[in-house]
Structure formats: structure tokens, C-alpha cells
Amino acid sequence: MFYVSFEDTVNLITEATRLTGVKDESSTANVFTTKPQGILIQDTYNNPIFPIQPKPQIDTDRLDLVDIFKRFRELYKAFNTLLLPWHFVVEFVKGQYYVFNTRPINMKYPVDMNTAEKIVKKNGATLTKLTEKYFTEKPFPISEAIHVAVVGDSSLDVYTKAIYDVIGKFVISPFTKYFRLMESVGQSIFPLNLGKHFNLDYVVRFSRK
């Protein structure tokens, strides 16, 4: 389990919003001016930027997306938005995985690289090796990526091949092919603190089918 501090995260995001005047809304300042530069996959519970805790930790058979929207708006009031920061949220509902589009795909992720690094440092979160590599090498800005969030805690939840099939076919493959991104973990595709139970290599494998 990764430790995150809600108070520090919220304070940093609120301060960044106040100083820059950036609002999470559709405007020329917050849309992609070129193609997305990569894909970042994370979960909602261990999220290094926008953690949603204490619930949901385990992705159950019920629809949790409405609760995630409510919790996000409660925690991160500075954004004053109906949108989530992630372009897609993946959830298990009544025996099947679904991909929900929760942010217009032409809109950037609402936090820039500088703010993201400050949040991660302030939280003191234990980062996975590939997450450390992303923040160290900065292959592309965090705001210039397509963001995918899996509901729950990927260090505890158990996943079937169906989730990799859904993400691979409906998110990874369309974006890598249309924008000519490399289908490679550690180059164009990175995890952000995904737990040991989520196999990112499977996502890439299923995207090629």
C-alpha cells in the first residue's frame, strides 16, 4: 500500500491553481495543441497525484464511478469541475469490465509536471521503479498524456485477462495506432504507482491482437 497525504495534495493543487489561474475547463490553454505524447495508467487508490481514499479500495461488482466523482469534488474543490482528471476510468460492474470516458480526449491532464513532482515529493509516497523512471527521465510531460485510471487498489485487487483485453483494445490500441505512439512499456506507456497485481505487459499484449 502506498501512503499519500490528502491534506498536502489538496493544498499543493489549490495553491498551484491560485498562482497560475488555471481552471479545469475547456479553453485553448487546456487542450492538446499537438498529439498526446504518451499514455499513463494508474489506479484511483494509490494515485500519486489525485488519490481517492478510503473508498473504493476493492473494485466490487457495483458501480463506484458516481462515488468517485463525488469524492473527487469533495477533496479537490479548487478545480470546481464536473470532470475527472483522467480521460478514462476502468471499472468492474456486474461481472464485466467497462471503460468510461470521463474527460474529453482533447483536454490535457489538469496538473503540469512541476506541480506533479511537488505533490509526489510532498506526499513521500513509495514509488514503483517504472514510476521513478518516469519522473526522473520525463519522457513526456504529465499534462501531455492520455490518463487511464483503474478503480481501486491494484496492490490488493485481483484482475482477470478481461481487464487487459478491454484496456488494450479500447484505449491503448486506438491511441498508439492513430497517434503513432510506440506500444512499449517504459517508452510511450508508463504506470503511475500501479500495484504488483496489475500486469502492464498484458495490456500491451492485448492491444496488439
Q: pLDDT tens track of the chain, all 209 residues?
A: 444 455 555 565 555 555 444 456 655 668 888 899 999 999 999 999 999 988 999 999 999 999 999 999 888 877 667 789 999 999 999 999 999 999 999 999 988 999 899 888 877 778 899 999 999 999 999 999 999 999 999 999 999 999 999 999 999 999 999 998 888 888 899 999 999 999 988 998 888 87
30 domain residue, yes or no: no
What residues are paired with 63 via a beta bridge?
none
120 domain residue, yes or no: yes
59 domain residue, yes or no: yes
Domain that holds residue 59: 6-22+36-207
- Nearest partner of 85 among 38, 141, 25, judged by Cα: 25
Q: What CATH number is associated with residue 48?
A: 3.40.80
102 domain residue, yes or no: yes
How many domains is the chain built from?
1
Count other C-beta atoms under 10 Å from residue 176's C-beta: 22
Does an H or E element contain 190, and which?
strand 189-192
Per-residue DSSP letter, 31: B
Query: pTM of the predicted model, to two decimals?
Result: 0.88
